Structure 1
Amino acid sequence: MTTIHEAPALDVDKLMAFVFKAVDEVGATLNTALVVMGDKLGYYQAMADSGPTTASRLAQDTSTDEHYAREWLNAQAAGGYVEYDATTGHYTLPPEQAAALTDPSSPAYLPGFFQIALGTTHDTDSVLQAARNQAGVGWHEHTGDVHDGCERFFRTMYNAHLVGEWLPALDGVVAKLERGARVADIGCGYGASTIIMAQAFPNSTFVGSDYHEASIAAARQRAQDAGVADRVTFEVASATAFTGTEFDLVTTFDALHDMGDPVGAAKHVHQAIAPDGTWMVVEPMAGDTVSDNLNPVGRAYYGFSTLLCTPSSLAQDVGLALGTQAGPARIRDVVTTSGFSRFASVAQTPFNRVLEVRP
């Protein structure tokens, strides 16, 4: 006998509450593009410099069309990003938003976060096709906003925490770096983390590696611009094939979960690290269960995981696809399976967890 499932009665109030939640979500989705627009056209910086302004003045200050400036300002006011004075017709960028949207030295600097989100959604069609074909989408296949936005977003964290908090949380590492250590930075991208460490510890030498050739080209130029090219080199290499041995410190920033073969990468690190060396693994902040991650940060990271990080892993050999919200227990399994014996969570921020891994 076939059992017919009877649909539950609709609660109209709950339905309409969800509809208006969805309206807010669509507004937020569009605002991602508007924030990137405001960043690239210089709208936020002009408002921070000028104080209360009008659409006409903002357009003049940025050499853009007034019609776009007007609609952009109204959308920003509706979303609470700028304040609107109906009496004077002026728009103001509050100091808190100015810090988050115009000051690259602020630990709350956000334009890169929006830029990588916009770039990630831009490539949704490729991800849809990959999901149907049980395939992946490589990091190199994404639009430049993904690469640039990723570097800008995570560089903010590294500037704020790497030298002053994360490295000191590792047993004896700062003393080694001050004396002069050999450091390998795996999956270095544009080299932001590598260069920050090189600037802080001039007696040490650093080798950054990444499979993405365009990122390594950018990293080499940035090392030259930063004046650290005498002690920093970059190579195009996968995480299972970077060169060198006897490293005192190996670092992997926000990249282990993106790798197709993180176990193979961990085994290679184990071979390359000195017997008393340290591997610092920095991963997106995550708990060990789905329930642990049902929060605003987890929601954003699960979104990136679906559209960016998991497809990237699936495009590589093995394709383990740990996911952005892998959690410390899964990372522990990866590194202990690869021969490491010591593992500890030593620091964290709302966006990152720092793990200390030792032979």
Structure 2
Amino acid sequence: MTNVNETRLNELVGCVLGDIGGAVSVPLVRIGDALGLYRKLKEIGPVKADELADASGCAPRYVREWLAAQAASGYVHHEQGLFSLTPEQALVFAEPNSPVNLIGGFDTAAAMVENQPKVQSAFKTGRGVAWGDQAGCMFCAVARLFRPGYVNALVQDWLPALDGVVDKLKAGATVADVGCGHGLSTILMAHAFPNSRFIGYDFDADSIAAATAHARADGLTNVCFEIGRAQDFDGRDFDLITCFDCLHDMGDPKAAAAHIRKALNEGGTWMVVEPMAADTLEENINPVGRLYYSASTMICVPTSLAQETGLALGAQAGEKRLTEVIQSGGFKHVRLTAKTPLNMVLEAT
């Protein structure tokens, strides 16, 4: 019988118990967000449980138990019978525009659990699970997960890191946002650069409908959305083409790269935003890699395998592999221009 190292066993059990605690926190965090408990706690704390219940219009017994769980998780501060959010906790749970708001991660985790039967079946068949066939809230969950990064970095850091692009956008450029999803990235750019024209493309009709509704609600006139695949969308002579966290999801990213190269005008730029990753598994064994490998197993790889070619790059492809794919489309120069804990930005010309 193999000897068991008690120290290692205890460490593993402790790790797993922490993971289970995090897993069972998913519905509690989503309830707190949906009912405005975090926001109200930030606004009026420190308070007693019953005071938060009264202020939020919720049943006191449920709120008391919810707060106890949140305090045990370290998500809410408890001292002398009073509950509050520290500034750090507020950034994560109660401020939607914070760069470290992670509510979208909990939404994505819930969608992944809902997606399990389909992906589990695909493990046996080797086939994919189409983006439109995944869990009902997958679209909004993924959009919400990436939203803080886009809001805080896209216009402020990522676009300025590209060579000469901001000057073109200010003067008036034509931009395609390929794989735009619900259009958050497209709309952010359209707001920031009113002299430019933006077209968002996505192969998912429901996403295009949602993006169009968002743009209409914002009153934007310099943006529109069309159904189109990355490898054959309409349009030519773009000054800038962007792909946000979607290249690795494509069935044939090499064909997409080739088509994007042809769709750019002379001197045009392709900005590729992808999940942050190093080039080897060993370098990606960390909290961010853990998140992305898991999401990749449940979302990204199945999505790619459901499409033509099914290259299935995965969310942790890394800069080297992504550069190879981009250059296969005819791009001569690829450079890393910016990065955050969750994203890397590549410029291709």
| TM bin (shorter chain) | over 0.9
Give the corresponding residue for 2:70: 76
Q: Distance in 1 between matches of 2:239 and 2:147?
A: 23
**RMSD in angstroms over aligned alpha carbons?**
1.3
Q: Distance in 1 between matches of 2:138 and 2:184?
A: 15
- Once the 2 structures are TM-superposed, how far is the Cα of residue 72 of structure 1 from its aligned partner? 1.2
Q: TM-score, normalised by structure 2?
A: 0.97
Task: Report which stretch shifted further, 116-125 or 288-297.
Answer: 116-125
Following TM superposition, the consecutive aligned residue runs of length 4 or more in structure 1 with deviations greater than 4 angstroms are none
Give the corresponding residue for 1:48: 42
Q: Is the contact between residue 219 and residue 234 of structure 1 (CA under 8 Å) also seen in structure 2?
A: yes
Q: Distance in 2 between matches of 1:318 and 1:346?
A: 29
Amino acid at match of 1:296: P
Q: Distance in 2 between matches of 1:144 and 1:175?
A: 40
Amino acid at match of 2:15: K
% identity of equivalent residues: 46
Amino acid at match of 2:11: A
Does residue 177 (structure 1) correspond to residue 169 (structure 2)? The answer is yes
Amino acid at match of 1:180: G
* One of 291, 298, 302 as aligned partner of 2:293: 302
* One of 162, 168, 176 as aligned partner of 2:160: 168
Does residue 18 (structure 1) correspond to residue 9 (structure 2)? The answer is no
Task: Report which stretch shifted further, 178-187 or 111-120.
Answer: 111-120
Task: Report which stretch shifted further, 13-22 or 318-327.
Answer: 13-22
* One of 111, 117, 138 as aligned partner of 2:109: 117
Does residue 266 (structure 1) correspond to residue 257 (structure 2)? The answer is yes
Give the corresponding residue for 1:62: 56
Q: Distance in 1 between matches of 2:8 and 2:70?
A: 28
Give the corresponding residue for 2:306: 315
- Once the 2 structures are TM-superposed, how far is the Cα of residue 276 of structure 1 from its aligned partner? 0.8
* One of 155, 158, 162 as aligned partner of 2:150: 158
Task: Report which stretch shifted further, 63-72 or 346-355.
Answer: 63-72
Task: Report which stretch shifted further, 115-124 or 159-168.
Answer: 115-124
- The count of corresponding residues between Structure 1 and Structure 2 is 349
- Once the 2 structures are TM-superposed, how far is the Cα of residue 57 of structure 1 from its aligned partner? 2.3
Q: Distance in 2 between matches of 1:190 and 1:258?
A: 16
User: Secondary structure of 2:261's match?
Assistant: helix
- Once the 2 structures are TM-superposed, how far is the Cα of residue 270 of structure 1 from its aligned partner? 1.2
Q: Distance in 1 between matches of 2:159 and 2:10?
A: 50
Q: For structure 2, which runs of at least 5 residues remain unmatched after alignment?
A: none
Amino acid at match of 2:261: H
Give the corresponding residue for 1:343: 334
Give the corresponding residue for 1:133: 125
Matches within 5 A, 1:30-49: 30-49=24-43
User: Secondary structure of 2:22's match?
Assistant: helix
List per-residue Cα deviations over 1:109-159 (Å, max 9, x = no partner). Answer: 221122112212221111101111111112212234321121122121111
Q: TM-score, normalised by structure 1?
A: 0.94
Does residue 239 (structure 1) correspond to residue 233 (structure 2)? The answer is no
* One of 266, 270, 287 as aligned partner of 1:279: 270
Q: Distance in 1 between matches of 2:11 and 2:318?
A: 33
Q: Is the contact between residue 207 and residue 235 of structure 1 (CA under 8 Å) also seen in structure 2?
A: yes
Give the corresponding residue for 2:203: 211
Amino acid at match of 1:155: R
User: Secondary structure of 1:143's match?
Assistant: coil
Task: Report which stretch shifted further, 299-308 or 103-112.
Answer: 103-112
User: Secondary structure of 2:243's match?
Assistant: strand
User: Secondary structure of 2:33's match?
Assistant: helix
